[in-house]
Amino acid sequence: MSMRPLSLALLLIAPALLQAAAPTLHEALVAVREDRAGDAGVARALQGLAKAHGTPLYVYDQAHIRGQVKALKAAFAPRFQRLRLLYALKANTNPAIVGLLRSEGLGAEVVSLGEIEGALRSGHAGPEIMFTSSSKSPAELRRAVALGAVLNVDSMDELGQVQAEALRQKKEARISFRVNPGVDPHTIHQINTGIAESKFGLHLQDGIAFRAYEKAKAMPGIRVEGVHCHIGSQITETEGYALTARKMMGFVKELKDRLGLRLAFVDLGGGLGIPYKDGQEVMSPEDLARTLEPIWKEGVAAAGYEPTLWLEPGRFFVGGAGFLLARVNTVKQTPVKTFVNVDAGFNTLMRPILYQAYHRVRVLGRSADPVTVDIAGDVCETGDILAEARTLPRASAGDLLTILDTGAYGFSMASEYNSRPMPAEVLVDGDTARVIRRRGSFGDVFRNTAR
């Protein structure tokens, strides 16, 4: 008899308990990352997003982005007296993301007129922008000089063009040179930029970079502010950075000793890698800061002054924040493989076909009956495989998948190939999801065309 009131009370509070246990959208994304996508509550949360906004859908976790900024600052700020962080817009150009990083105090590193426009629309002032490209058009030079952005000059030819533009505008152009340090950071060939045969930068080798500074120093209309390098992307070891920093600090000393040049900044680029696989070990910001600190301090002591250290990561801030939701159209068994055909393809996420990049895939709300499958895209190309030979819980038509770590070089590399409109993007903050880009339409696909 005495059990009765207790059971009644349990019955009454059980729904409330269950509700309290429902994860927020942020918690659901964390759970997916932690391989708990099979959990019914987690699946429900993300199925709700897919229902509200359609698929394919890019979902970004704001808390992850803020956490990455915090981690980088925590590692570097105590060790480097003068530190400036920039965000490389090419990783994800959505103004909501760029604005979020700006609100964390980051500057903007851009590579085109479009990205300059993106930085301005996100609230950046011209002088907060660093413009890097190995092939800048006259219109790009004109805009960057007018805005007071730092032009990261890539050739002697460009230096002459920048000067002509500055004199035409009766301005001083703020410049740095992109230096090619000749360092191999051991990453994917296509994103390896610091090796000698790369198209980027003025080589330190043979004194080419030195001669550029010598010339620029004496040029009216040119204000030399810094030196820059970027040795590649998705770098997971500290060694390449250490070699580069040593070369760059040696160059800083050489510029001071031989030309009397004191630079305002030394930009060591971006490139910090993130783990794309479960259990993958990559260098942490702490590892990198600890490696660079003694090299920097030694360089500063040798040069006799301290420039500001600039870093300009893209992927590190936003890569892990992105989850691409895609729906299963069909499952097909062939004599050799099982294909899970989804409603996203290399038009949505290009990294797998472009770099043979690996992205984790999770099936939402399923945890049983593992099968080895290829996740195939909906583009009519044989190579359109988003993930190969993955052992995943059995999925069927209508199920939702999420592809992890798609916040960087995901949407920003997407296209309308096969006349498929661009996907929508939402930004998750706690339990709210804000649409930060509407899904594209057929009107968008055929805009500016004529019959």
Active site residues: 380
Output the CA–CA distances (angstroms, integers) from residue 356 to 118, 149, 192, in the order listed: 29, 35, 15
Angstrom distance (rounded) from CA 301 to CA 294: 10
Question: 184, 192 in Cβ contact below 8 A?
Answer: yes
Provide CB contacts within 8 A for 392, sequence distance 6+: 340, 361, 362, 363, 370, 371, 373
CA quadruple 350, 353, 357, 360: dihedral positive or negative?
Answer: positive
CB atoms within 10 A of CB 305: 11
Angstrom distance (rounded) from CA 429 to CA 103: 15
Residue whose structure tokens are 């002697």:
156
CB of 68 or CB of 348, closer to ligand PLP: 68
Minimum CB–partner distance for residue 344 and ligand PLP (Å): 22
CB of 259 or CB of 283, closer to ligand PLP: 283
Nearest Cα to 408, choosing from 343, 342, 355?
355
Minimum CB–partner distance for residue 169 and ligand PLP (Å): 25
Give the three-class secondary structure for 241.
Answer: helix
CB of 296 or CB of 316, closer to ligand PLP: 316
Minimum CB–partner distance for residue 315 and ligand PLP (Å): 4
Minimum CB–partner distance for residue 309 and ligand PLP (Å): 15
Minimum CB–partner distance for residue 232 and ligand PLP (Å): 7
Output the CA–CA distances (angstroms, integers) from residue 234 to 75, 98, 367, in the order listed: 19, 20, 31
Can you give the binding site for ligand PLP, defined by CB under 6 A? 88, 90-91, 109, 132, 230, 233-234, 269-272, 312-316, 408
Angstrom distance (rounded) from CA 291 to CA 284: 11
CB of 197 or CB of 369, closer to ligand PLP: 197
Minimum CB–partner distance for residue 209 and ligand PLP (Å): 16
CB of 230 or CB of 359, closer to ligand PLP: 230
Torsion from C-alpha of 146, 150, 152, 155, nearest 10 degrees: 50
CB of 55 or CB of 276, closer to ligand PLP: 276
CB of 131 or CB of 296, closer to ligand PLP: 131
Nearest Cα to 349, choosing from 280, 423, 276, 399?
423
Provide CB contacts within 8 A for 171, sequence distance 6+: 145, 146, 148, 221
Angstrom distance (rounded) from CA 357 to CA 266: 31
**Identity of residue 296:** W
Looking only at the bridges linking them, the beta strands covering 129-132 and 370-376 are unpaired
Minimum CB–partner distance for residue 200 and ligand PLP (Å): 8
